[in-house]
Structure 1
Amino acid sequence: MSDAGGRAGLRGRWRRAGAASAGRPAADLAGVGAHLRAGRSVRESWELGAGVRCSADGVPDVPELCAVWVGVESRRHVAPVVAASRVAGDVGAPVAEVLEAVARSLAAGDEARGDRDAALAGPLTTVRLLVCLPVVGIGLGALLGADPVGVLLDGGVGSLALGGGVLCTVTGAGWARRLVRSAREAGAEP
């Protein structure tokens, strides 16, 4: 590796160490693909395009790739990239095209996850609001001059209503959160 290439790779590692953007893996893979198409070797392309070293067979160094792609979402992309690099090297497929296809796939997966999380934000916000409403109602009742706390703690029907309300609120919130978690897990990769 030339001295200029080594400095560029080190600058790339330093620059990316603090960045955890979700688009980083796709951008790095596109960079590696661009360097490959420009005629650089696989090793030089990984060093210049993503700031990581690779083995003689063109597989990027996993710890370095994890260090460059510091975000939790980005680290999830390491295994498919390493697998694609190995397969491309083993079967002699054009590495640039394979990596660009992986980059498109990762970007599409990130977009789908973002859409799913946006769709689930509404139900989670509704659950939070519904959990807070009874407390707000008690506060409003007190502001209007009623004695909701006294009624709820009188030991009679008010206390029974308080117990039933708390039970229903906790059960409903738990159920809604379980549904949201189930929806998230259904959309996750195997």
Structure 2
Amino acid sequence: MLKNLFIVLSALSMLSTLYKDGLSGNIQGDYVAELKVVDFLDESDISTFSDMGIDISDLSLDVNIVFEEDDSFVLSIDAETFESDFSCLLESNMDEIIDLALEDIGMTRDDITDDEAQSIGYDSADEMFSDIANQIMTEMESYYEEMEEEFDMATVSGFYEVSGNTIIFTLDEDDASFEQGIINVDRTISIYIEDEDISTTLVFSKQD
């Protein structure tokens, strides 16, 4: 019994040391958290992807936060990584996307013969479908530009103060989407974010 009591007291002592020395103080550096796309998309958008047989459950945004030495911070979304991941998802499911577009106009691939494709300037039906795929990816570029502007507008900056295992944020603009963060035992940082589009807790891990 005394041995068990000693183990419990030792564990409590270790936790106390972690919270006193390990969790407070210097948190400077770059951190990243994953935000699942399905957590903020409308059900109708999710259904659209599902109808095409596209699984977006693993698609995510990288949210970065940088804590500077002067107690300032910047939280931003990594648009470049998302564009790359989303483009790969589209390319790997392009056949399904084109099939759904044809279905919407009451057609299938079998309805488009080489002769019909040649009548509009293609060598074959396959070449036509390849060109359609290229056009879709080209059109995505303008979407990405708009998305980058929205992501830039979502960037948040300000100052932070560490008190124990709590981070208190003071934002540069009148934005109450988040006010505090928690430094966890494993040195990750949890921040609860809430606005009109999303309500979730992001867990940030420090990058080497």
Taking structure 1 as the reference length, the TM-score comes to 0.32
Hey, which of these two has a bigger chunk of strand by percent?
A: 2
Taking structure 2 as the reference length, the TM-score comes to 0.30
State which structure, 1 or 2, has the greater radius of gyration over its C-alpha atoms: 1
